Every structure is written in structure tokens, then in C-alpha cells.
Chains A and B, each alone.
With several copies, the nearest count.
Chain A
Amino acid sequence: APDEAAFQARIDEGIKIEPKDEMPDAYRKTLVRQISQHAHSEIVGQLPEGNWLTRAPTLERKLILLAKVQDEAGHGLYLYSAAETLGASRDDMQADLLSGKAKYSSIFNYPTLTWADIGAIGWLVDGAAIINQIPICRCSYGPYARAMVRVCKEESFHQRQGFDILHKLCTGTQEQKDMAQDALNRWWWPSVMMHGPRDADSVNTAQSMQWKIKLFTNDELRQKYIDQTVPQADFLGLTIPDPDLKWNEETGHYDFGEPDWDEFWNVLKGYGPCNQERLQARIDAHEGGAWVREAAAAHAEKRPRRREAAAA
């Protein structure tokens, strides 16, 4: 179609697409799906870390964690707003999350079992997320790119905080070191799978790359993540649970083993350790808060009427 060709030409020139610009339906839909999925991930992502808010080991750590979880809610807000510029409504997007129709990042279906997991999420999960998200700061859709700039800045701050938690553990007692290693053992492979299925098994990648919604393939991002993370693990004195992991002089990258893709698909299909709990927590919050939202709406409608009455 001639319109699509013109659209693609603008993208190829590096012109940002803005909300009022014309755009192909498929572009719009792909973006709404991806941005809302990203927003949902921020919201559901509050839960595993939130699980340690009441149990953080110092007041300072408690404050840092609380601020972090709060940032995630904020990211959710920017991202829902970015999706709204494409005509999606927040209510609809949330309904899709609660009905199970929309996805969120599978990583949040794993449990946080010790304090070290809070460190591991910051270091590994935020680390992998940043690798995925930094390219999106240059993506073709303006509002998404701009939201992502803000998100990435905060995420990299969170990543350092997570690393700092683990660093403290790794320079602590033997029990603390064991706790850190155990967390790495459990979070390593799920974080490696955060970049999505192998390129060979990934759908839609080509179109998204052409539209500059996606700038690197899953496998490229995964390699970048591993290359960045292995030296950090070495620095901490922790062992990455992958016997096949080794530096490859020739490629200048780390070679690594194959994740358990069966697990990946199982978790995606709803059979992870915490899928039910995470969704239920969101449903409970939504349903338990219904009367509060209704009250706020009812009051907002009353207030101007009262003012008019008072003025009359």
C-alpha cells in the first residue's frame, strides 16, 4: 500500500512517529500490545519485591526498596499513558491483564525466597530489562521512546542498588554468601530467558525491527546481557550456574549453555511457581478497591454541584 510505504520511509529517515500522525493499524496494535505488556510488567513486578518490604533488614534498605517499588508503579503510569496516546484505555488494558488475556514478563512469576533475591532482582532482572529497554529509547514511536528514557535512568539506579545488596552479602558471613549464591542459582536462568525465545522461535521480530520498535534480536540482547553480567558475578565472587559458560577469544563473547525452554513455555502458559498468586493479588487489589474508586467518582460529581448550590 502506498501509505504504508510512505510511513516506512519516514521511519527509515529516523523521523519519530507522534500520536496524531497517521500510522498503519498493525503498527498501532503492535505498539499497544508491547507497551501495555511492559506497563503490566511494572505493576506485577511490584509484587515479588513488595514481598520483602515488611522484612527488609535495615531501615535504610527498607526505604530504598520502598522507593524502588514505588518507582515501578510510576513506570507503569508513564507506560499506560504512552499506550493511551495510541487510543488504548487504561481500564481496558487493566481488564486484559486481570482476565489473563494480556501478558506480563514471566520473570515475576518466580518467588522471592530470601533477602538475597531482592539483590538478585535488582542486579539480574533490572540488568536484563535495561539491556532490553535501552534500544527502545531510540524506537520510532515518540511517546514510548521518551517514557523509556526516564524508565531506563531509574532502572540503572535500581540495578546498582541490587548489586550493592549482593555485594554486602558477599562480603558478609558465610551464611550471607550462601544466600547470595543460592539467589543467583535460582534467578540466573529466568533472567537469561527475559530476552525472549531464541530468534528461531520468535515471531514478529522482522516486522518490529523494520518499524524500529525492536532494534536488536532476542539472541543479540541475550549475548549482550551475558557479556555484561559475567564479570560482575566474578567481581562478587559468585559462580554462575552454567557449566558451559566460558569466554570465547575468537568471538569476543561468552559462550553459554541452553536455558530450559520447556520451563519458559510452561511459565508463559501460566504454570510458573507464582502465576496464580500474582494475578490474584492484582485481582484482589482491583476488586477490593472498587468501592474506593466509586466513592471518589461519586464525590467528584457531587462537589461542583455543591459549589453551585452554595453560589446560588
Chain B
Amino acid sequence: MEEARYEYLLQLGDSDLILGQRLAALCGHGPALEEDIAMSNVALDLIGQARFWLSYAAEIKGGDADEDTLAFLRDAPAYRNVLLVEQPNGDYGHTIVRQCFYDVWHFFVLQALMQSTDTRIADIAAKSIKEVQYHVERSGDWVVRLGDGTEESHRRTQAAVDKLWRYTGELFRSSEAEQALVEAGIAVDVATLYEPWRAHMQALFEEATLELPGDQPMQCGGKHGEHTEHLGYVLAEMQHLQRSYPGARW
């Protein structure tokens, strides 16, 4: 069970971390100053939450593991984030759609985890959910603005939806580690979140005049370390300093 709990905490922490890392790269390059600031806030929240999850994971792992050894000294196959969050920022339409898909899922996950029988998990979820509530509102607002904005913004945003949709299936499919924990009341059964997530998206997309894609084969693998080709580059950059000066303290 401890191994499963460790894996599960990595799933939660790695997804927050990698999405935070992607957003951090946008800082100073956003479409408007206010946007830059708001997006940095989301990145700050996500990386902050990642620290909670990874610190807890490190305690379970024991030894000299800590949030930083987990973040900086695992190679891509040991990362457990969902594929969605490692996709490139692309244009702002892609950034926002990726964010919206994740935020709404993230909210439902944390909402359920507040009832976790693991009180440490429940506490982290309770601390995080207010931040994520704001993320949901913000990315949803932008999906509507971009979807129902100009012809160009509509086209770009629909293209982002069509491109990123294939990474949403994984959000609702449990890994083996997760399944074991669901039975113990520790983890949420993500399959049960699909209907509310989809209903939320449907309402939002209607307002945004965007179309939800039809059924199609989904890309999975992140939760057991089979990523897309992007993650290796993200980590090479993120980990370079820690890897290059082994044992140094920063």
C-alpha cells in the first residue's frame, strides 16, 4: 500500500509540477501584462501544491529523499504526470485549453480528495482547492472569450481543443496504484469524475461556441511513465543544474 500511495502522490505532484513548469516558461512573454501576472499566479499555485505532494511522497520513500531529489533527480520514465500537462504551450489558445481541461479535472479531484481517509491528503486537497477554484474560473472565462471572440480566435481555440482532446481520456483512467487506493478510500475513482467534467465542458463550450470532439482513441501512458517526446526536453532543461553539480546545496 505504501508503494501505491507513493506512486499516487507522484501522479498528483508531477502533474502540478510539469504544468507549473510549462507556465513558468511563459512568464514575461504573455499577451498582456495582466495576463502575465495572472498566469504566473497559477504557476505559483501549481508548483506550491506540487511541493506538498512531493514532500509527502518523499517522506514515504524515506532515506534522503525530499521534494527536490524527487523533482530534479528522476528521469522521464519515473515521472507520473498525465500527458496533457507536458504538451507544449503552443499559442495562447493551446495554453488556455490545456489549462481549462486540467483545471476542471483538478478541481473535481481535490474536491473528492478532501474526503480521503488519508488525512494528510485530505488536508493538502483542502488547502489547494480554493486556488484551483480560481483557476477554473479564469481558464473557463478565457475559453469563452477566445471561443466567442473573433473568427481567428475561434479557429485557433477550436484547433487547440481538437489537438489536445486526445490527452483527456487519461485523466479518467486509474493506474493500478490508484485502483488499490480507491478501495481503501484514499484515492478518488477518477472514472466517476468523467460525467461531471464533461457536463462542465459541455456548458462551457456551448457558451464559447466551440465544439467538443467526438469519440476517438485516447493517448494514455503518463501515469506509468510512458510519456510523449516532450517530457524529456522539459526535464533536461529543468534538471540541468542539479544534475551538473551533484550534491551541491542551493
Contact = CB atoms under 8 A, between A and B. Distances in A.
Given A46-B27, A66-B27, A294-B150, A55 B44 contact: no
B27 A53 contact: yes
B72 A57 contact: yes
Contacts, number: 173
A55 B232 contact: yes
Given A55-B232, A294-B153, A295-B150, A281 B29 contact: yes
A69 B28 contact: yes
A298 interface: yes
Given A47-B28, A168-B249, A186-B226, A295 B50 contact: no
- The secondary structure that dominates the A interface is helix
A43 B36 CA distance: 11
A165 B248 CA distance: 13
Contact of B47 (A43, A62, A173): A62
B67 interface: yes
A275 to B, nearest CB: 10
Interface string B215-231: 01101010000111100
A127 interface: no
Interface in A35-77: 43, 46-47, 50-51, 53-63, 66-67, 69-70, 73-74, 76-77
Contact of A296 (B24, B25, B145): B145
B12 to A, nearest CB: 15
- The secondary structure that dominates the B interface is helix
Interface in B62-110: 67-68, 71-72, 75-77, 91-92
B131 interface: no
Interface in B5-42: 17, 21, 24-25, 27-37, 40-41
B92 to A, nearest CB: 5
Given A74-B37, A291-B150, A182 B27 contact: no
Contact of B77 (A176, A182, A293): A182
Q: Which of B67, B166, B229, B236 has the most C-beta atoms of chain A within 10 angstroms of its own C-beta? A: B229
Contact of B37 (A70, A114, A165): A70
Interface residues of A, number: 62
B249 A296 contact: no
A289 interface: yes
Query: Sorted from nearest, which 5 A-B pairs have the closest CB atoms?
Result: A289-B31, A295-B149, A295-B153, A46-B28, A57-B250
11 contacts: A53-B24, A66-B44, A70-B36, A113-B227, A172-B249, A266-B217, A281-B29, A288-B29, A290-B31, A292-B92, A299-B145
